[in-house]
Amino acid sequence: MSKRDIWIECGYEILAEKGHEFITVDELSTRMGISRGSFFYHFKNRDGFIKAMMTKWVEDTENIIAGLDYSGTFEECYDKVTNGILCFDVNRELNIRTWGGSEQIVKDCIVEIDRKRLDSFKNIFAKLPLNEDITNTLAKFRYSLLIGLKQIDNSISAEEIMCSADLFKEMVISFTD
């Protein structure tokens, strides 16, 4: 891992432990035991650092999305994509979403990733004999379920999230029968 990547990971640790307000050059330098000069060697300023953090999050998320398999029946595809999308770090996601309320570059990245994830769910529901409006609505419901459960109850387990995903899938199947 490059020194630049180590700085970014340190930023994510601070985000998780203390919140976005504490992602400062001083906090990063102190935590890493490295001078501020090293920070400025890798990043022009704090905004450049935030942009680098968000670029990494977007790239990591896009890599997950790019690896999704949409083959098979609706049920098979739904299960594969749900499992694939659950690969993201849920706590990092929640912290980034909170941060997006006060930092425009973060908000812009969230909007971009939300659109791509919604497109993934639209690809699943497009396998059903439904019109585009219903397909889009189901994709929004499914994605809201994924993001919202963790925001409502941060202690919810991956198994509970999967159970809710299975229940939603069964409801959609019964709706199309």
**CA angle, 123 then 127 then 129, to 5°:** 130
Q: Which residues of the chain have pLDDT under 50?
A: none
Q: What is the pTM assigned to this prediction?
A: 0.86
- pLDDT at site 121: 92
pLDDT tens across 64-103, in order? 889 888 899 999 999 888 888 777 777 788 889 999 999 9
Domains and CATH numbers, the chain: 1-43 (1.10.10.60), 54-176 (1.10.357.10)
Could you report how far apart the first and last alpha carbons of the chain are, in Å? 51
- Structural contact between residues 9 and 1, judged by C-beta atoms closer than 8 angstroms: yes
Pair of tokens at residue 92:
């990092």
Residues of the chain with pLDDT > 90: what percent?
66
CB proximity list for 120: less than 8 A, separation 6 or greater: 65, 68, 81, 85
- pLDDT at site 140: 94
**CA angle, 53 then 25 then 13, to 5°:** 50
